[in-house]
Amino acid sequence: MADIAVRPTHLADGRELIYFDDAGTTLPTERRADPRHLDPRPPTATMRLDLLTGDWVSIASARQNRAFLPPAEFDPLAPQSESNPSEIPAQYDVAVFENRSPSFGPALGDAEGAPEGLTDLAALAVGRTRTSVGRTEVVCFDPHTAGSFADLSVNRARTVVEAWAQRTGALSALPGVQQVFPFENRGEAIGVTLHHPHGQIYAYPYVTPRTTALLRQVDAYDGDLFADLLAFEQAGDRVVLRSDSFTAFVPFAARWPVELHLLPNRHVADFTELTEAEKDELAGVYLRLLRAVDALYDTPTPYIAAWHQAPVSTHRDRVRLNLQITSPRRAADKLKFLAGSEAAMGAWIGDLVPEQTAERLRAALATADAERPL
């Protein structure tokens, strides 16, 4: 495991906290306990069925109380200090902890009102509810209050990749969890409420609507959808980066002004199926892609980095791990807003030609590689 140490503990209110120590870390083995006196955790939210779409909506009102753009001296993701009673008691390299205001959980699949499997969730009726079981976690990429994932060292990025893999495995094993989704929101234009470099992991009690649509495509397609898609993109002129184990490209039917996908060159269902060598390689590849996105303009580009993984219990031999980086930035000073057609009807209109976006990203990658070699 690349000499990355995993050190689980708990916060004062019982939430799980896991430290992931870099290979070659200088941090001590023992960490300070959480000295805070915290209120009990909020009750688990309730999901409601949208009968018009079949989608489940978690009504998690406790999230209204979450921190909103606090000053750096009160950063809740920095290590605790005398003046800042943050969420993480000790110094760390990478830290993962249960969200204090979760969208799903802390109750799990054995709780009262929990979904009774995918068949139960698919049943349609007016006014259906279920308990929003599952888990939502925060992944702190670095203890510093400023910066981004692109600023990490390869060694630190490798620790984050290990955290994603370890947590995907652990969360997939929890009762009632159907899908695990690591992601990062970066930039106020995306809706970020904390500037600290961090991401999240959601463990859903259902298969998400986006993945459900993908499963329909996989079932309807005559062949190996992901293998054929990868071969098609590798043969085209939208490839931005290709390594031994991964290929990054602007997709043929890109929706967003900046849209960059990454696929493993072999089938893996999720992070847990990557080899150690592939995880080592991925750390550097991902850093290069994010630095290329930032090199498109003179200021950092807002983005969502979404790691799509196969559901826990279905289609694991046909849905491949894939990264989708998207940004609404269509020019240095312009954003794409989802208005009538996209937001209301889900009917997308692309603002930029994907082949031209790929050309710009290749040039930005060359610039980033020259300015910030790994």
Q: Which domains does the chain have, with CATH numbers?
A: 5-202 (3.30.428.10), 211-371 (3.30.428.10)
Q: Percent of the chain beyond pLDDT 90?
A: 91
Q: Tokens 């909506």 identify what position?
A: 57
Contact status, residue 57 vs residue 32, Cβ threshold 8 Å: no
Question: How far is it, in rounded angstroms, from Cα 156 to Cα 23?
Answer: 8
Question: How far is it, in rounded angstroms, from Cα 98 to Cα 106?
Answer: 9
Question: How far is it, in rounded angstroms, from Cα 54 to Cα 67?
Answer: 32
Task: Give the torsion through C-alpha atoms of 337, 145, 270, 119, to 10 deg.
Answer: -60
Q: Which amino acid is at 238?
A: R
pLDDT in tens, 283-327: 999 999 999 999 999 999 999 999 999 999 999 999 999 999 999
Which one of the listed residues 195, 196, 198, 308 is annotated catalytic? 198
- Name which of 103-107, 221-225, 248-252, 332-336 the model is least confident about: 332-336
- Name which of 140-149, 153-162, 191-200 the model is least confident about: 191-200
pLDDT in tens, 61-104: 877 666 667 788 899 999 999 999 999 999 999 999 999 999 99
Torsion sign over Cα 292, 296, 297, 302: negative
Based on the residue annotation, tell me whether 198 is a catalytic residue of this protein: yes
Is pLDDT at 1 greater than 60 in this prediction? no
Give the chain's mean pLDDT: 95
pLDDT in tens, 242-289: 999 999 999 999 999 999 999 999 999 999 999 999 999 999 999 999
Contact status, residue 247 vs residue 227, Cβ threshold 8 Å: no
Question: How far is it, in rounded angstroms, from Cα 240 to Cα 248?
Answer: 6
Here the tokens at position 319 are: 């849905």
pLDDT-derived band at 141, boundaries 50, 70, 90: very high
Question: How far is it, in rounded angstroms, from Cα 8 to Cα 19?
Answer: 6
For residues 203-223, give the mean pLDDT.
98
Is pLDDT at 361 greater than 90 in this prediction? yes
67 closest CA partner among 59, 57, 81, 77: 77
